[in-house]
Structure 1
Amino acid sequence: MAEDSTTRPAPDGADQAGRPARGQARSRILDAARAMIREKGYSAMTVDDLCARAGVTKGAFFHHFKSKEDLGVAAAQDWSQMTGALFEQAPYHAPEDPLERVLAYIRFRRDLVAGPIPEFTCVVGTMAQEIHDSLPAVRDACRDSIFGHAETLEADIQAAIDKYGIRAPFDAKSLALHTQAVIQGGFILAKADQDPALAVQSVDHLEYYFKLLFGKEGKTWTPR
């Protein structure tokens, strides 16, 4: 005898018909968008495919987002909040020496390059490459995310510059942004050649660069 679906307990976050609750629908759409952008990019992601992936109706989508562009902005902001919490709690803040904190951050980023390419690449970096000229609102949200994260490194970099007496034609802000340029560039290489090792190598080079810059490494270097 078939089970009566009207009396079957609903899954967490769903009503008795199995539809996601209104508050859960937005989260499910954002989760699906994050996965799909990393898998195939923003442009290739359709609203229909997104709704199917999230298990919501198009009506639910347009209840929460005015357009796909509006979703792109929200996805960038959601990414910032999610990754911001991850980095805030990460162990690289522990060392007393500011340079060691920066190097620990770089190693932490290296450790995050694990699994299939879509699992470690950056949502906002991917979108920025695709829509930098066509969707200014999404581009600006991506910029805020990338530049905002770089800004969290500036204090430690400046403290390291001061401690080690580095004199160079750059400041902490530009060096913090350079870390993101290398990491994002590594993601692009990994995608282009379908080889995650290229992203790892890029981060290794970044660590070596910082050690050379601050006089912490000789002419030879053995990665950890």
Structure 2
Amino acid sequence: MVWNNGFMPRDGTATRARLLDAAEQLIEQNGFAATRVDQIIAASGSSKGAFFHHFDSKQSLARELVSRYVDADLRLLDQGLAAVAAIDGELERPVAFLRFYEQWAADLVSEESACLYIAVLTERDLLDDATLAEVDRAVVAWRNGFAALLRPALAVRGLPIAPDELADHLFATFEGAYLMCRAARSPEPMRQQLRVLRQMVEALLD
């Protein structure tokens, strides 16, 4: 935001955001261990002093970066839940929820897309419990959100399927599709995998 006098606010918000943006891109591309602090500083156009003013260490930055990523991820979850909230019918809501993400799949990824969750979890030993807890916050939120739609639908059909375990397939589909998109250099696998999951749930509830 630009103030009326034309100057940016000097509370460090913009610098912090640039550091986090640069770190996210580098870590997704190269991994956590291979990303050096000086690379983050150079990519953000910042300084070493600014980096350590905002973050005590590289691990501190990773923890805050993952927390920010989770917050954005859960906003995406909230959008999907809001989109189906007014739908009347237990059997229709889970399918419409999946269709929401299927329709937006091309906007979720690009040929260079990667997922920060994958980047950090493949180097688990380098991360602390607080960072891993943030990833778990995302997993649990997606599970609970989708399971809340699945539970009444499965009950209507009398299907002996655990809604939480079925709900986890959506998070697993997102993460697996990210890897497929990167390997194929195309966003199409995300749409394909979300479509297949939606078709499976649709057939299950039909």
TM range (shorter): 0.7 to 0.9
Cα distance, 1:23 vs structure 2: 2.8
1:102 to 83, 88, 94: 94
Counterpart CA distance in 1 for 2:70 and 2:78 is 12
CA separation of 1:73/1:95 partners in 2, compared to 1, >3 Å: closer, same or farther?
A: same
Partner in structure 1 of residue 22 of structure 2: 32
Deviations 1:146-183 (A, max 9, x none): 23222222211112112222223xx1111111211122
Contact 1:127/1:142 (8 A) holds in 2:
no
Contact 2:23/2:40 (8 A) holds in 1:
yes
CA separation of 1:93/1:32 partners in 2, compared to 1, >3 Å: closer, same or farther?
A: farther
Counterpart CA distance in 2 for 1:42 and 1:10 is 37
Name which of structure 1's ranges 93-102 and 151-160 shifts more when overlaid on structure 2: 93-102
Partner in structure 1 of residue 195 of structure 2: 204
Counterpart CA distance in 1 for 2:25 and 2:99 is 24
Deviations 1:16-46 (A, max 9, x none): xxxxx42332222222223333344333332
Aligned residues: percent identity?
A: 25
TM-score, normalised by the number of residues in structure 2: 0.81
Partner in structure 2 of residue 18 of structure 1: none
Counterpart CA distance in 2 for 1:209 and 1:192 is 24
1:1-224 aligned at under 5 Å gives the runs 12-13=8-9, 21-90=11-80, 91-110=83-102, 111-114=104-107, 116-119=110-113, 121-128=114-121, 130-137=122-129, 138-168=131-161, 171-214=162-205, 216=206
Counterpart CA distance in 2 for 1:65 and 1:98 is 46
Contact 2:106/2:191 (8 A) holds in 1:
yes
Number of equivalent positions: 197
Contact 1:124/1:142 (8 A) holds in 2:
yes
Cα distance, 1:67 vs structure 2: 1.5
Contact 2:28/2:115 (8 A) holds in 1:
yes
Contact 2:74/2:141 (8 A) holds in 1:
no
Please, what is the CA RMSD of the aligned residues?
Answer: 2.4
Q: Which runs of 5+ in 2 are unaligned?
A: none
CA separation of 1:22/1:149 partners in 2, compared to 1, >3 Å: closer, same or farther?
A: same
Structure 2 SS opposite 1:113: helix
Contact 1:124/1:145 (8 A) holds in 2:
no
Q: Which runs of 5+ in 1 are unaligned?
A: 1-8, 16-20, 217-224
TM-score, normalised by the number of residues in structure 1: 0.75
Structure 2 SS opposite 1:74: helix
Letter in 2 for 1:157: L
Contact 1:34/1:123 (8 A) holds in 2:
yes
Letter in 2 for 1:117: E
Contact 1:125/1:146 (8 A) holds in 2:
no
Q: Which has the higher contact order (CA 8 A, sep 6+)?
A: 2
CA separation of 1:29/1:150 partners in 2, compared to 1, >3 Å: closer, same or farther?
A: farther
Name which of structure 1's ranges 103-112 and 85-94 shifts more when overlaid on structure 2: 85-94
Letter in 2 for 1:116: S
Contact 1:77/1:145 (8 A) holds in 2:
no
Counterpart CA distance in 1 for 2:95 and 2:28 is 27
Cα distance, 1:74 vs structure 2: 0.9
CA separation of 1:201/1:112 partners in 2, compared to 1, >3 Å: closer, same or farther?
A: closer
